[in-house]
Structure formats: C-alpha cells, structure tokens
Amino acid sequence: MGVAAEHIRTLNKYEKSILLALERGMKRYAWVPLEYLKTATKLSESEINYRLSRLMEWGMVRFNPVPYDGYALVFGGYDTLALATLTQKGTISALGTLLGEGKESVVYEALGLGPVAIKFHRVGGRSFSSARLNREYMEDGHCPWLIASRKSAEREYQALKALHPKVSVPLPIAQNRHTVVMSLINGPILNRCNVASPDEFLDEILENVRIAYQAGIIHSDLSEYNILVEDGKCILIDWPQWVGTDHPNAEAIAGRDIDNILAFFKRKYKLKRDREVALQWVTG
Ligand SMILES: Nc1ncnc2c1ncn2[C@@H]1O[C@H](COP(=O)(O)OP(=O)(O)OP(=O)(O)O)[C@@H](O)[C@H]1O
Ligand SMILES: [Mg+2]
C-alpha cells in the first residue's frame, strides 16, 4: 500500500489509462491480454510494454505468462485508481500516515477539506495471492478480490450513511471502488484506554447499538476493537459486515455483539450486567 501512496503523484496519463483499461478488462479476463490493452488504450505496443514494466515495478500490476501473456491489476493498482479519482474530485489532496491495519483493510489519514480517514478494503487479498487459488478463481475471468473489496466498501458506506448522525459513527464523506472516506476520529481504541466512567460508557454504547437496531442495522462484529474513544465519547467503527434486523438470526447476531461488549466491561472494569436485560433493551 505504501507503494501506491508513493506513486499517486508520479502516475502519468498513459499509466493511468492502462490501469483503467485493466480494470475494465478484468470484468472479462482473469489475465487481460496485451491485444485488449492495445485496443482499449490506442497506445503502441512498445509504449504499453514500457508503462507496464513501471506499473509492475511499483506493485500495481502482475504478469502471468501461461497460457498466454496476460496482465492483472493487484491491490496497489486498484488503490492508485481510487486515489486518482478521489483526488480528481477534490475529496482528498494528500495521503498521510497509516492509522491502522486490520484483517481486511488498511486505514490511512488523508487531507480533504480537513483531516479525514480513508479505509482501503482488502477482502480476499491474502487467500487469493496463492498461486493455486489464483488459478482456481481467476481462470474463468472472475476477479473475486476486486469485487468483494468493492462490495465491502459499498456496504460500509451504506451503513454509515444510514446511521450518521443518529448513531455515533464516523461521518461518511465519499466512497470510490474499494475505499471509504470518512471523518477522522482522534482517539484510541476502547481496548487500549481507561474510560473515566465505565458504567456510563457502557450505557452509551448500548444506547447507540439500540438506535442502530431501530434503524434496521446490526453491527455484527462489535467488540472493544471496533469502538474508538474521542473526547470521552464512543464512536462505533468497522461496519462492512452489518446485517439487517430482518435477518433470520437477527436476535442471535445482536446477542453476540452485546456479549462481546459485556464480556469486555466485565473483564476490564468488573462491571456486571444482565445479558438478557441488555439484549431486550436493544432489540425490544
Ligand atoms: N475514522 C477513523 N478515524 C481514525 N482511525 C480509524 C478510523 N477508522 C478506522 N481507524 C483505525 O483503523 C483501524 C482499522 O479499522 P477498522 O476496524 O474499520 O477495520 P479492520 O479492523 O481492518 O476490519 P476487521 O475488523 O475486519 O479487521 C481501527 O482500529 C482504527 O485504529
Ligand atoms: Mg476493526
């Protein structure tokens, strides 16, 4: 990812048009043939080869020689396309430091109208990087990581849009490809801080979970790792896996979220709360 950030400014129009052609080509091909790129970009073969070699050096594109010479976008290239679009739209003007890295995303600080956070979704990245899985999933023109990562970002954005400001979540600013731009939260993860009034803080979390539930949304990955603390207030983050309250297991999923939170407050602050009362209050 650092690679894409480094090269956002040095990407020229030929390289950008090749990345865009690859993105389109990957709807049809697992490995986009050179011929396709020639037609799509109207560039000469030597120009394309030169630009592709640079894009590969920067970790944006990969080459595969069998059964034919083909090229594919990888996360670095997809990151770059998203950043280029967001920059062009004026949503962001520069990328800052790494804020966090999770199982399925990386989050950077960025400069927008003010400081913002940009989350790059990375679904299927690791599992699909193995050669075997690449062959299995990519041969017939599917590109699961790209589609899954974009869907994940769209889903997270959808939740933030539906919940802000009723529920304490980051303000959604923009969404492009596999990225979500949102307000930057200044504060630690709940797991890493000591809250002044744990009892009230727990109430505040449950109150937000309840309002989300009333809006039809269950987080479904709620824990002390997905709550930030800013000026003594809780901010619920990381929403791509939310489910609707019309889900057949809605109550069980909401119950698991509550269990996670109650277990944390019990462990760290010795708070005892009745699980059923809390669940009833949230879903009732
Ligand atoms: N709006 C934000 N402002 C500041 N920091 C953020 C923001 N969103 C995310 N972060 C930081 O990035 C980290 C990862 O974000 P998030 O929890 O959304 O994704 P994730 O942990 O990768 O997802 P998963 O739980 O699937 O691993 C957070 O723990 C937090 O440190
Ligand atoms: Mg998380």
For residue 275, what is the domain's CATH number?
A: 1.10.510.10
Q: Which atom of ligand 1 is nearest to the CA of 228?
A: 30
Q: Considering only 1-15, 223-237, 270-284, which range has the smallest mean pLDDT?
A: 1-15
> Atom of ligand 1 at shortest distance to CA of 170?
1
Instruction: Name the pTM for this structure.
Output: 0.93
- Shared domain for 135 and 199, answered yes or no, is no
Q: What is the mean pLDDT of residues 132-148?
A: 66
Ligand 1: residue of 107, 185, 192 to mutate (most ligand atoms within 8 A of CB) is 107
Among 118, 163, 237, 260, say which to mutate for ligand 1: greatest number of ligand atoms within 8 Å of CB.
237
Assess whether the C-beta atom of 102 lies below 6 angstroms from ligand 1.
Answer: yes
Which residues place a Cβ less than 5 A from the ion ligand 2?
Answer: 102, 226, 238
Same domain, 42 and 174: yes
User: How far apart, in whole angstroms, are the C-alpha atoms of residue 123 and residue 135?
Assistant: 18
254-280 confidence digits (pLDDT tens): 999 999 999 999 999 999 999 999 999
Percent of the chain having pLDDT more than 90? 87
From the CB of 229, is ligand 1 less than 6 Å away?
no
Tell whether the model's pLDDT for residue 131 goes beyond 60: no
Q: Is the beta carbon of 185 within 6 A of some atom in ligand 1?
A: yes
Identify whether residues 98 and 197 lie together within a single domain.
Answer: no
In a shared domain, residues 175 and 222: no
The full 3-state SS of 233-263, as one line of letters, equals EEEECCCCCCEECCCCCHHHHHHHHHHHHHH
Instruction: Provide CB contacts within 8 A for 135, sequence distance 6+.
Output: none
Alpha-carbon distances of 190 from 175, 228, 230, 261, rounded to whole Å: 26, 5, 10, 10
**Confidence class for position 1, pLDDT limits 50, 70, 90:** very low
Q: Please give the positions annotated as active site.
A: 221
Is the predicted pLDDT of residue 129 greater than 80, yes or no?
no
**Domain ranges, residue 67:** 2-183
Helix, strand, or coil here: 118? Answer: strand
Ligand 1 pocket mutation, candidates 99, 157, 180, 186, criterion most atoms within 8 A of CB: 99
Sign of CA dihedral 179, 183, 184, 188: negative
Residue pointed to by tokens 């669940």: 279
Q: What is the pLDDT of residues 58-110, one digit of tens each?
A: 999 999 998 899 999 999 999 999 999 999 999 999 999 999 998 899 999 99
Q: Which of 44-53, 90-99, 129-138, 194-203 has the lowest mean pLDDT?
A: 129-138
- Asked whether the bond before 240 is cis by omega within 30 degrees of 0, the reply is no
Of 16-30, 104-118, 121-135, the range with the lowest mean pLDDT is 121-135
62 and 158 co-located in one domain: yes
Atom of ligand 1 nearest to the CA of 226: 17
Ligand 1 site, residue 238, Cβ cutoff 6 A:
yes
| Helix axes 275-283 and 198-214, enclosed angle (nearest 10) | 40
pLDDT score of 135: 54
Same domain assignment for residues 158 and 218: no
Whether residue 99 has its Cβ less than 6 Å from ligand 1 = yes
> Domain check: are 179 and 79 in the same one?
yes
Q: 105: CA distance to ligand 2 center in Å? A: 8
The answer, yes or no, to whether any atom of ligand 1 lies below 6 A from the CB of 271, is no
Same domain, 176 and 265: no
pLDDT at 143: 85
Which residue lies with its CA nearest to atom 23 of ligand 1? 102
110: domain CATH number is: 3.30.200.20
Of the residues 158, 183, 208, the one at which a domain ends: 183
- Among candidate residues 127, 156, 183, the one where a domain is terminated: 183
- Mean pLDDT on 4-19: 79
More confident: 134 or 122: 122
C-alpha of residue 225 to centroid of ligand 2, in Å: 6
Q: Are residues 16 and 57 in the same domain?
A: yes
Could you tell me if 56 and 146 lie in one domain?
A: yes
Express each pLDDT in 171-180 by its tens digit: 999 999 999 9
Residue 62: the pLDDT is: 96
The reply to whether 95 and 160 lie within a common domain is yes
Spatial CB neighbours of 197, under 8 Å, sequence gap ≥ 6: none
The values of phi and psi at residue 21, to 5°, are -65, -40
pLDDT the model gives residue 203: 98
For position 127, what pLDDT does the model report? 53
Domain total of the chain: 2
Same domain for 279 and 142: no
